Amino acid sequence: MTPRWQPAQVCSVIGAAHRRQGAPCQDASLSSRLTAANGEPVELMLVADGHGASNYWLSHVGSALACRCGAETVAAALQRTPLQAIEQWQQLLARELPQQILQAWLAAIAHDWQQRADARPFSPYTYGCTLGLVLMTPEWWGYSGLGDWDLVEVPPGEPAALVSQESELLAGEATASLCLPQAGSLFAARAGLRPLTLTTAAPRLLLCTDGVRKSCATDHDFLNLCTQVSELIGSDALQQVLEQITREGSGDDVSLAIGRPCHWSGDVSSQPERRKRLPWQLGAAVLGGSVLLASTAWLTSRWWRPPAAEVAAHRAEGERLCSLPPALLQASLNQRRPQFQRLLRERQLSAALLASGERDPLGAVIAASHQGQPAPCPQLQQALLQQWQQARQASGKMPPSAAPPPR
């Protein structure tokens, strides 16, 4: 199954102030590729920030355990709950998962305390920390957590935007924490889920601890930073950026986790220096594999036929579009401009759209046009041709099956 998301890139760097003081880094981060019960790949990224006051002297342990417990709890939930049960996952992220993560964390820190043989009474406050997580699946992405982490999305071609931040009602450097008695109920305010469709280009997602945002002069700078950092390739580059952020900014520990959809052009799994050392044999194998894959996709697009129900759905949609006034028809197709462009880049997408005719009949009409199938009426044919021409101008390509209408 082709994953929709690349493996998340995460990095935590000790703060300049902690480095001077000889204190440990109280931030933690984790990236994990999980598998849902139906075999679909899912990416998970987590960040946690231990509290810095002297009372919380094991918070660096607490934050690491929070990431681990969060990942284990989500992995278990993926085996019990189908990814398609979106409403159920919304509830999970807001209520059930937080309670499970909290219980797991409390048990973990209690166990850690026992290992220390410390005569002082155990208190969860000693390990206090925040926790934020983002779960990226083929059909949606969701988030949850508590504390002062920030989540930013960078949609393709659009400016970065804050998705989730802690309430301004809190004072000073205060934050919600896993060590609070009511921690389990505090996740709901910071939980959410965003469905994806075949026509929706998934955004890049950045999850960071508060040290990053506090190091930027303004929120505008912070969002610009997120946009630019989301394009970084390689863990070394990300670490260098974070080191500069803490050195010239807040001095706090900093953590950043980046989730990228697979259609994003950058490839975080490859390091530039590794590319340079790629042996020619391996390069030939990769080239050969690509040719084989492209051939298979072409053949599939030519000979594969969608089920009858899907065909009926997209034909009905075509007839409906033909009955629309020209302005409405134009408006309907304009909304799908990203889809036209994406089809030019990813030819194999047309088969998937045709197979989803019942769910996305307009997408199926566009995909059929991409494969050279004539539209039910000249008006729709002309409108589709115009969209392909515009998509070509935007991307420099033209579908081979697109042709001017017969005169």
Dist CA 351 CA 360 (whole Å): 13
Interface with other proteins by CB under 8 A: which range of 29-37, 165-173, 305-313, 351-359? 165-173
Q: How many CB atoms lie within 10 A of CB 168?
A: 6
Q: According to the binding rule CB under 8 A, does residue 251 interact with other proteins?
A: yes
Among 88, 90, 91, 123, binds other proteins (CB under 8 A): 123
245 in contact with other proteins (CB under 8 A):
yes
Helix (H, G, I), strand (E, B) or coil at 204: strand
Does 174 sit near other proteins (CB under 8 A)? yes
Burial readout 53-87 (b: 16 or more C-beta within 10 A, e: otherwise): eeebbbbbbbbbbbbbbbbebbeebbeebebeeee
Kindly give, in sequence order, each residue whose CB lies less than 8 Å from that of residue 308, ignoring residues fewer than 6 positions away: none
| Of positions 107, 170, 282, 284, contacts other proteins by CB under 8 A | 170
Tell me if 214 contacts other proteins by CB under 8 A: yes
CB of 162 to other proteins, least distance (A): 13
Side-chain-side CA neighbours of 74 within 13 Å: the count stands at 31
Q: Does 9 bind other proteins (CB under 8 A)?
A: no
Rounded to a whole number of angstroms, the minimum distance from the CB of residue 306 to other proteins is 45
Q: Which of 61, 154, 163, 179 binds other proteins (CB under 8 A)?
A: 179
Q: By rule CB under 8 A, what count of residues binds other proteins?
A: 58
The tokens describing 10, both together, are 């995460």
**Any bridge partners for residue 50, and if so which?**
129
Backbone angles phi, psi at 308, to 5 degrees: -60, -40
Least separation in angstroms between residue 229's CB and other proteins is 6
One of 13, 154, 201, 241 touching other proteins (CB under 8 A): 241
d(CA 179, CA 229): 32
Of 87, 329, 307, 359, nearest to 198 by C-alpha is: 359
Output the six-digit token pair for 390: 């515009």
User: Shortest distance, CB of residue 231 to other proteins, whole angstroms?
Assistant: 9
Say whether residue 217 binds other proteins (CB under 8 A). Answer: yes
Measure CA 300 to chain center. Answer: 29
- Asked whether position 161 contacts other proteins by CB under 8 A, the answer is no
**CB-CB contact of 227 with 160 (8 Å):** yes
- Position among 40, 43, 148, 360 found at the interface with other proteins (CB under 8 A): 148
By the rule CB under 8 A, 110 interacts with other proteins: no
CB of 252 vs other proteins, minimal distance in Å: 8
Distance of closest approach, residue 235 Cβ to other proteins, in angstroms: 12
Q: Tell me the closest approach of the beta carbon of residue 128 to other proteins, in angstroms.
A: 6
Q: Which of residues 48-77 bind other proteins (CB under 8 A)?
A: 49, 51-56
Helix (H) / strand (E) containing 315 = helix 308-322
State which residue, 49 or 360, has the beta carbon closest to other proteins.
49
> Contact between 118 and other proteins (CB under 8 A)?
no
Nearest distance from C-beta of residue 214 to other proteins, angstroms: 6
Q: Which window, 35-43, 192-200, 209-217, 345-353, contacts other proteins (CB under 8 A)? A: 209-217
Query: Would you say 2 or 167 has its CB closer to other proteins?
Result: 167
Contact 29, 74 (CB under 8 A): no
Does 191 contact other proteins by CB under 8 A? no
Nearer to other proteins, 128 or 399 (CB): 128
Query: What is the Cα 335 distance to its own chain's centre?
Result: 23
Strand-by-strand arrangement of the 27-35 sheet: 27-35, 41-49, 131-136, 140-146, 192-195
DSSP, residue by residue, 138-172? SSEEEEEEESS-EEEEE-TTS--EEEE---TTS-T
Residue 273 is a binding residue for other proteins (CB under 8 A)? no
SS3 call for 84: coil
Side chain identity at residue 178, one-letter code: L
Told to check if 169 binds other proteins by CB under 8 A, we report: yes
Under the rule (CB under 8 A), what is the footprint of other proteins?
16-17, 49, 51-56, 123-125, 128, 130, 148, 166-177, 179-182, 185-186, 189, 210, 214-219, 221-222, 224-225, 228-229, 232, 237, 240-241, 244-245, 248-252
